[in-house]
Structure 1
Amino acid sequence: MIKNKERLSRNNERRLVLDAIEDVLKNCDPRSIVLDNVKLVDNTLIIKDIKIKLNFRSIYVIGGGKASGYMAEALNTILKDKITAGLVIIPDYINEQLDTGKIKLWKASHPIPNAKGVEGVKKMLELAKQADKDDLVICLISGGGSALMPMPYNGITLEEKQELTRLLLNAGANIDELNTVRKHISAIKGGRLIKLLKTNIIALIISDVINDRLDTIASGLTVPDNTTYADAKRIIEKYNLWNKVSHNIRRVIEDGIKGDIEETPKPNDPIFKDVKNIILANNEFACIKAMEYFVNNGIDARILTTTLQGEAKDVGLVLASIANEIDKHNRPFNKPIALIAGGETYVSVKGNGKGGRNQELVLSALRLLDAKSKWILASIGTDGIDGNSDAAGAIIDNLTKTYVLEHNINIEDFLKENDSNTFFKNIGDVIYTGATGTNVNDITLIFIYS
């Protein structure tokens, strides 16, 4: 699963951390998640503790996201011929052949949406609109769905939406902010999908969002929206982008604020009465699996947080400070101990390098690690893709720092250029998994040993 694991496993402590990462990814496989949480008993679909009699004329499957193709494969295993038809949009970098039966897989780009995504959404809607009150639509939603399911709204072009996405990502907007804006320039997000469908809907969701905000995961296709056009404008202005986005986007947002364009549907809207939204897995699930792995291997382990946020390089310094405190003073915990942190940081892009939030976090932490430190820190994106690189993340320990000191490498130069991937490639501490097919946010592991 970690393609370069043998090269990275330069001691037993490193191998333990890498084994823990692999165990987390194995447990977060979307197929396993669906098969563990969705059962068919006679004619009853059981999803966690929810029971649904399948007395429907037809069952359609739609959706999109990084994990949604694998979710579709598992659902096809469960429902088989009960599925009438389906279309799910997946990233174009997934090349694995999946057995999804009557559910067609449609490929589009991520994180910047493309025309294939728009075409896929149109075909998905054509299919789903065949369903009426006697039918069921199962929507498979996972992280990445916002980019994979674009449907520009009210005269906004795809190119304008692409540029807005680039501007917000490079400015360091977090996923909540990015999706608040996306919802208000989309024909299907922010609950607008439900306005287009007149049927029973079950959304099966793998969350990649801190605190599992349903209205943020894939920009809230099937849930009421708590945000407004005014919120969207404030976010764009926060990053000094209002005069950089297109006239069409400004027009739609301003008209929405004035009430000339209808707001996204809000809580208590009756259109949601036949909709069930069910989260099957999230970042907390991944963190618990990491903790269990260490405990099962005789190492005390604690979850620091499942809501890790902030500028990646600042968060890296905080986590390194905690590791140093335990390493040098056995407080607040005695070593050996493993610490787990889940969530999603961000990078305010200033340079022209290659990297991502996980690699930048790890590189920044390396500044506070010395050649005698007895701790390891690794951080990955569970989707296997960190930023604009082909890596999942990176790992550091005293061997890393020794190499840096011996070769007189200036860490600050790489941080200034947001070039963490080049740094870790050069020294051989980048973690490669390839696309994992899942997405439950990021996970950071710190192992302080004796």
Structure 2
Amino acid sequence: MKEKLHKQHLILEEVVDKFISNGFFEMNLSSFFSGLETSEKIWVLGAGKASVEMAYQLEEHFGSAIKDGIIISPNKTHKLDRIQVFTGTHPYPYQDSVSASYELWKLARRIPKEDTVVFCLSGGASSLFCIPANGIELDELRKTYKLLLNSGASIHEVNAVRKHLSETSGGKLGQLLSDNNLISIVLSDVPGDDPEIIGSGPTVPDSSTFKAAFQILKKYRLWEEVPHSIRIYLSKGMHGDVDENPKPGHQEWKNHHLKVISGANILAENVGKFLVKKGFNTQVASKAYNISVKKISKDICSDAISVLSKKSGLKAPAGLIYFGESTVDVTGDGKGGRNQELALNAAISVEGQHAISLLSFATDGIDGPTDAAGAIVNSETTLKARKLKLSPEDYLQQNDSYHFHEKMNTLLRTGHTGNNLMDLQVVLIG
């Protein structure tokens, strides 16, 4: 079994390496620019984990036609010549995000109405492009973000709240640029590819409401936990004392165009094809999951064990591929991310089974507030931990998956990948 596990590990590492080198998914934005003439004056704005790569392609395509631009990113993956890159923080906003956001907003306000604006958006923009609403301090906003992200709320629910607490989200930038020819290019990192949700939708109208934001906080028992200023601001919104975000059907943004890139399913299919070439019978999930870490981990392990027990139509050696975004209800005070927690859950579930290995990978390279992208585990991982007098269950209870994987040398570190799709899981069996 050790030889099989070693081979599986090498293949999973190869999956990660090929993704990072664009072997499975490569952004190609040129098709979105076919209607633009290079003689036009073009301004480039954007935010998100993949926004620098997107802006780089714009510079390659339009060159000197780009008048100016600002991108807000957690890192600088490319050196840009005509577009400024400001760095911000993710998943929680700090002063650098706010300062960069004011600079972007200031530039947007002085763009002539006859000029074209291309807005590059990818996941992470909710924190990177963020100005607290009037009366809300940054540390109060940051505390609210943390409570939401640790509550088990879905990304749709989290961003419905965040859109009502930031002066940049929920269509507000679209409203500012309502008279411009605006092309929003959106790289999806959320199940369903809803442009209202991705990066909290700065340039698209928002169908959620202040009342919905209030109900979400009540649902997850956070209403009494969030700072007083948050409750005051949302209450004002529900009573009509603060304007709602621009609503679908109420706007006449005639020259606004939206292009959404759904890359996670392409990535998963290409990983499946790669595994077939490696001799595996493969099964690729038909759609993205959007459930808790515990539930998706249970489903994945159940599928894997079904292959081993010959209750599945798939025969070993087999490869299972999943993609999506999970939620974590954080009750402990440990360190980790949803991919690391998923991997720890799975390692416990497949303990002692025949050769099973699992990769759980944040495609942006940063899993939660850690320096890891995820983890690679197998059916011997927790057995080895117990021999070292480590209790996997204790680490899981404390939401301390990072330190478990660190001790077991199962952390996956890639650094920022310059891309941002959904999370990817690959399971190899037999």
TM-score (norm 1): 0.89
Instruction: Please provide the CA RMSD for this pair.
Output: 2.1
What is the alpha-carbon distance in structure 2 between the residues aligned to residue 139 and residue 289 of structure 1?
28
Q: How far apart are 1:343 and its partner, in Å?
A: 0.5
Determine whether 1:154 maps to 2:154. no
Instruction: Report the residue type matching 1:158 in the other structure.
Output: L
- Contact 2:154–2:327 (8 Å) recurs in 1: yes
How many percent of aligned residue pairs carry the same amino acid? Answer: 33
- 2:89 aligned residue (100, 103, 109): 109
Q: How far apart are 1:269 and its partner, in Å?
A: 2.8
What is the alpha-carbon distance in structure 2 between the residues aligned to residue 162 and residue 68 of structure 1?
22
What is residue 361 of structure 2 aligned with on the other side?
A: 380
| Higher mean displacement: 252-261 or 423-432 | 252-261
What is the alpha-carbon distance in structure 2 between the residues aligned to residue 153 and residue 335 of structure 1?
54
Q: Show CA shifts across 1:144-192 (max 9, x none).
A: 0110011122322222211111111222222211110111122221111
What is the alpha-carbon distance in structure 1 between the residues aligned to residue 51 and residue 4 of structure 2?
32
Determine whether 1:425 maps to 2:401. no
Instruction: Report the residue type matching 2:106 in the other structure.
Output: E
What is residue 55 of structure 2 aligned with on the other side?
A: 72
- 1:315 aligned residue (293, 296, 301): 296
Determine whether 1:398 maps to 2:389. no
Q: Show CA shifts across 1:372-408 (max 9, x none).
A: 4122111011111112322111112233244135335
Determine whether 1:145 maps to 2:125. yes
- Contact 1:175–1:216 (8 Å) recurs in 2: yes
* Structure 1 unaligned residues grouped into runs of 5+: 1-7, 39-45
Q: How far apart are 1:350 and its partner, in Å?
A: 1.2
What is residue 164 of structure 1 aligned with on the other side?
A: 144
What is the alpha-carbon distance in structure 2 between the residues aligned to residue 162 and residue 29 of structure 1?
35
What is residue 5 of structure 1 aligned with on the other side?
A: none
- 2:29 aligned residue (4, 13, 37): 37
**Aligned-partner SS, 2:34:** strand
- Contact 1:222–1:277 (8 Å) recurs in 2: no
TM-score (norm 2): 0.93
| Higher mean displacement: 151-160 or 413-422 | 151-160
What is residue 188 of structure 2 aligned with on the other side?
A: 207
- 1:273 aligned residue (251, 254, 257): 254
What is the alpha-carbon distance in structure 2 between the residues aligned to residue 216 and residue 192 of structure 1?
14
What is residue 72 of structure 2 aligned with on the other side?
A: 89
**Aligned-partner SS, 1:155:** coil
- Contact 2:281–2:314 (8 Å) recurs in 1: no
What is the alpha-carbon distance in structure 2 between the residues aligned to residue 122 and residue 115 of structure 1?
11
What is the alpha-carbon distance in structure 2 between the residues aligned to residue 126 and residue 408 of structure 1?
56
- Contact 1:327–1:375 (8 Å) recurs in 2: no
How many residues get paired? Answer: 427
What is the alpha-carbon distance in structure 2 between the residues aligned to residue 442 and residue 427 of structure 1?
22
Determine whether 1:414 maps to 2:395. yes
**Aligned-partner SS, 1:435:** coil
Instruction: Report the residue type matching 2:120 in the other structure.
Output: L
What is residue 79 of structure 2 aligned with on the other side?
A: 99
CA separation of 1:404 and 1:328: change in aligned 2, threshold 3 A: farther
| Higher mean displacement: 152-161 or 21-30 | 21-30
- 2:44 aligned residue (61, 81, 85): 61
Determine whether 1:285 maps to 2:246. no
Q: Show CA shifts across 1:216-266 (max 9, x none).
A: 001011111111111100111112111222232222212222222221111
What is the alpha-carbon distance in structure 2 between the residues aligned to residue 219 and residue 175 of structure 1?
10
Q: How far apart are 1:440 and its partner, in Å?
A: 0.5
What is residue 101 of structure 2 aligned with on the other side?
A: 121
What is residue 325 of structure 1 aligned with on the other side?
A: 306
CA separation of 1:239 and 1:129: change in aligned 2, threshold 3 A: same
CA separation of 1:28 and 1:110: change in aligned 2, threshold 3 A: farther
What is residue 26 of structure 1 aligned with on the other side?
A: 21
What is the alpha-carbon distance in structure 2 between the residues aligned to residue 231 and residue 429 of structure 1?
40
What is the alpha-carbon distance in structure 2 between the residues aligned to residue 57 and residue 371 of structure 1?
63
CA separation of 1:387 and 1:439: change in aligned 2, threshold 3 A: same
| Higher mean displacement: 134-143 or 173-182 | 173-182
The 5 Å alignment of 1:210-359 reads 210-359=191-340
- Contact 1:56–1:134 (8 Å) recurs in 2: no
What is the alpha-carbon distance in structure 2 between the residues aligned to residue 9 and residue 278 of structure 1?
43
- 2:110 aligned residue (126, 130, 139): 130
- Contact 2:50–2:122 (8 Å) recurs in 1: yes
CA separation of 1:292 and 1:86: change in aligned 2, threshold 3 A: same
What is the alpha-carbon distance in structure 2 between the residues aligned to residue 173 and residue 164 of structure 1?
13
Q: How far apart are 1:59 and its partner, in Å?
A: 0.8
What is residue 173 of structure 1 aligned with on the other side?
A: 153
| Higher mean displacement: 419-428 or 364-373 | 364-373
